[in-house]
Amino acid sequence: MSGGPRGFIVAAARSGAGKTVIALGLMRALARRGHVVQTFKCGPDYIDPAFHGVAAGKPSFNLDTWSMAPPTLAGLVQRHAADLVVVEGVMGLFDGVASVGQTARGATADLAALTGWPIVLVLDVSGQAETAAAVATGLARYRDDITVAGIILNRVASPRHLATIAPSLEREGLKLFGAIATNNRFALPERHLGLVQAVEMADVPQRLDVLADTVEASLDLPAIEAAARPATLPAAGSTAGLSPPGQRIALAQDRAFTFMYPHLLESWRMAGAEIVPFSPLADEAPDASADAVWLPGGYPELHAGTLAAANRFMDGLRAHAARSVPIHGECGGYMVLGQGLEDAGGVHHAMAGLLRLESSFAKRRLHLGYRRAKLLADNVLGNAGTEIAGHEFHYASIQSVGDEPLVDCRDATGGAVAEAGARRRSVSGTFFHAIDRWQT
């Protein structure tokens, strides 16, 4: 696709540099100026795109070059063209996995090279002076298939601090889009998987307006707008992503179950499926007429007591299972389908008991990374032998599992991953979240 939507990618040298809040401020400020802004998130993330959606007033989508096939990526960009595209990068600009996935290695720079969108580089300059210019120069020249359009300096201590950096950037031919002072108001609350979810913060619009006000006062917005370039992706062609798990899909959706990739819901609807949301926290049962039930990930560990006492919800799940309706859970949803969940305080909560899984948060252990999983049996994800690209990120531990494995799971290097999901009759679950069918 030549001449696709104009856009740019907000990237940084590392995680924690302020990339998310500055990207949100830019999205909000540009939308307030009358632009139709389409937002994307580079990589596998559920939390940041929810904030993007509030900032720009329309849903945000993930663009992941490791797990998504080229037609999936191109289709998302093509379907969601707008006046201006703003993409939030992931980790540091060149940080991806060692091995190429379906399209590339998952780095922000890979997406920039693929789309032709230039980089707006955020640098945290706290504790640095001219060295910051050296870092910016290295990042701008490290790969010749991407373009760094300009620099935003973050956490600048004073005008004097700025004066130790700006001349060096000019000398190296790097445009300075502006500087943002150190400000504790320019932050969002966090928890163990990232930012506190947008759905849990009633004052999100006001917080985003503060970010936008700061961006408008501190940065050269017209110059940033002018730096945007058209996408250069090839035509989308046909895509063979994940098929809908049913015609009428009951989808758990509330504060405990929010981690659902928007592109999957979009593709299911495009295939003619109907999505019927329900809230387990409100003790709602999945729709009785649904021919599939999907429990996404989220934070069931924070609401385990409420879920354990949600009898209508649990009985509804069991009734669907008794009728052999396909039920699938991802990460948090998988744990809820199990026999029990131990919360961070060591309290055990009985869950649905549809799988022989016992999980625990009492001893935190990080599980993180891309997954390439081959299905060992037919289920809602596809036929036996189908390979699924996904991602796993949680702190739970498996205490026991007693069902048949669902997948042969590998990491991004091809190394074996012990966690193989589980299946029992029509019920299945995995700790990884499915993103796309493996098409290469």
192 falls in which pLDDT band (50, 70, 90)?
A: low
269/204: higher pLDDT: 269
pLDDT number for residue 338: 98
pLDDT number for residue 203: 77
Catalytic residue (choose from 325, 331, 351, 407): 331
1 falls in which pLDDT band (50, 70, 90)?
A: very low
387-412 mean pLDDT:
96
201 falls in which pLDDT band (50, 70, 90)?
A: low
Q: Is 409 a catalytic residue?
A: no
The tens digit of pLDDT for each residue in 24-73 reads 999 999 999 999 999 999 999 988 999 999 999 999 999 999 999 999 99
Residue 198 has pLDDT above 90, yes or no: no
The tens digit of pLDDT for each residue in 123-171 reads 999 999 999 999 999 999 999 999 999 999 999 999 999 999 999 999 9
The tens digit of pLDDT for each residue in 85-96 reads 999 999 999 999
The tens digit of pLDDT for each residue in 317-356 reads 999 999 999 999 999 999 999 999 999 999 999 999 999 9
The tens digit of pLDDT for each residue in 383-397 reads 999 999 999 999 999
Residue 179 has pLDDT above 60, yes or no: yes
pLDDT cut 90: percent of the chain above it: 88
Tell me which residue has tokens 């289920």: 379
Residue 277 has pLDDT above 50, yes or no: yes
On average, the pLDDT of the chain sits at: 94
